[in-house]
Every structure is written in structure tokens, then in C-alpha cells.
């Protein structure tokens, strides 16, 4: 089996100096604009009340659910008063 030989003297970019290359596109494509808009970094600041609600929702969704807790919840005695 023949090994792949790489010529280390030849630059990987095909010999083009990327700093002075004029063949590169100067126009930004619509997809790049959409991608840059959708994936921009955002910062969200919450009020103390919003933080409390967010933490309660987080705690609810990340709680441990066991068969015992499930059974206690669904088989609890419910009083109905009229």
C-alpha cells in the first residue's frame, strides 16, 4: 500500500496570498445575512420576579420523578365538597 505523501513546501491555500487575493467575493450572500442574523449573540436580563418564576419552572422540569412520587401524586385522596 502506498502512503500519501504531502509536499510541505507547497502552501495549503494553493499559493494564493489571502491578504491580497482579489478573486474572493466582495458581496455577502443572502444566506450569510440570514445566518448572521439568526445566530447573533443576545443578552437577556430578567427582573427578580422573572428570575424567581424561571427558577421555579426549571426546578419543576428537572425534578426527579420516581415511581413512588408518581404513585403518591396520582393515588392521593381528593376531597370534593359541594
In a domain, 67, yes or no: yes
Residues of the chain short of pLDDT 50, as ranges, are none
CA–CA distance, 10 with 60 (Å, rounded to integer): 59
pLDDT at 69: 80
pLDDT at 70: 78
**Cell numbers standing for residue 8:** 510541505
In a domain, 51, yes or no: yes
Host H or E run for residue 56: helix 48-61
pLDDT at 8: 60
Report the helix count and the strand count for the chain, using DSSP H and E: 3, 0
Among left, alpha and beta (phi > 0; psi -120 to 50; other), residue 11 is beta
Instruction: For residue 56, give its domain range.
Output: 44-76
pLDDT at 76: 77
pLDDT at 21: 54
CA–CA distance, 7 with 11 (Å, rounded to integer): 9
Q: How many domains does the chain have?
A: 1
The per-residue pLDDT for range 6-29, each reduced to its tens digit, is 556 555 655 555 555 566 667 888
Amino acid at each position: 500500500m502506498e502512503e500519501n505523501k504531502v509536499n510541505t513546501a507547497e502552501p495549503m491555500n494553493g499559493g494564493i496570498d489571502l491578504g491580497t487575493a482579489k478573486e474572493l467575493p466582495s458581496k455577502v450572500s443572502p444566506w450569510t445575512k440570514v445566518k448572521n442574523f439568526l445566530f447573533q449573540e443576545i443578552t437577556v436580563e430578567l427582573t427578580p420576579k422573572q428570575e424567581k418564576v424561571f427558577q421555579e419552572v426549571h426546578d419543576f422540569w428537572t425534578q426527579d420523578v420516581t415511581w413512588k412520587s408518581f404513585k403518591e401524586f396520582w393515588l392521593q385522596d381528593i376531597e370534593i365538597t359541594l
